[in-house]
Amino acid sequence: MKKHIVCFGDSNTHGYCADPNDCADGGDRFNENERGTCLLQKSLGEDYLVLEEGLSGRTTVFSDPLHESMPGIETVYTCLMSHEPVDLLIIMLGTNDTKERFAANAPAIAVGMERLLLKCKSIPCWSGNQPNILVVCPPPLGEGFHDEVMGNGCVEKSVALPPYMEAVACRNNAHFLDAAECEFNPVDFTHLTRRGHAQLANMLAPVVTNLLG
């Protein structure tokens, strides 16, 4: 059986494209030759199966009064069990947690990630029964970011997030990667560009190979 890698995240895992001019198909989702998950699959080869589980708006644990089914902690059990045995879980969440309506600062967002990690570790989905999780801290929102619905303070919280996320990963015997260098789109200062998806895949490939080699 191939090694199952579940990528659990939000719109950047889903492959949302903020600028149709940056997408070969001119739509609002990067295609299979552009998305980071698909590029990771191509890089790893046929012995691996990269499973996309990206939902726009997903949070770690916060319930959103404007959208349903957003807390990752409420759906991750079904997700992981449907893909068992899971050899590696890659979680890239935190951007949506910065929304003003959740009133959570960077340390609180990291606590949300810790709750999610504890839940994931308790799920009997793991190959060899040993949880293997990689926490990826998403790129911070750009200084030009402005979204009335997401609210104020999002940039500052996203910039402050990496050390808290790393500490949580360390406490829970999870691996950590900071994706801060991946290029985001100046259209909305939130979503990865096509180049950013390629950068993310290039960052992940050697890490994944090392964790599963």
CATH of the domain at 109: 3.40.50.1110
Q: Quick one: what percent of the chain has pLDDT higher than 70?
A: 100
What total number of domains does the chain contain?
A: 1
Q: Which residue segment(s) compose the domain that 88 sits in?
A: 3-212
- Which H or E element spans position 67? none
- Give the containing element (helix H, strand E) for 103: none
Question: What pLDDT is stored for residue 143 in this prediction?
Answer: 86
Alpha carbon distance 213, 193 (integer Å): 29
> Is 47 strand, coil or helix?
coil
26-76: pLDDT as tens digits: 999 999 999 999 999 999 999 999 999 999 999 999 999 999 999 999 999
Q: Is the preceding peptide bond at 85 cis, omega within 30 degrees of 0? A: yes
Please give the sequence-ordered ranges of beta strands (E in DSSP) within the chain, or none if there are none.
3-9, 48-54, 88-92, 133-137, 175-178
Under 8 Å between Cβ of 194 and 21: no
pTM: 0.97
Q: What is the pLDDT at residue 213?
A: 79
pLDDT per residue as tens digits for the range 172-194: 999 999 999 999 999 998 999 99
Alpha helices, DSSP H only, in 17-69? 36-44
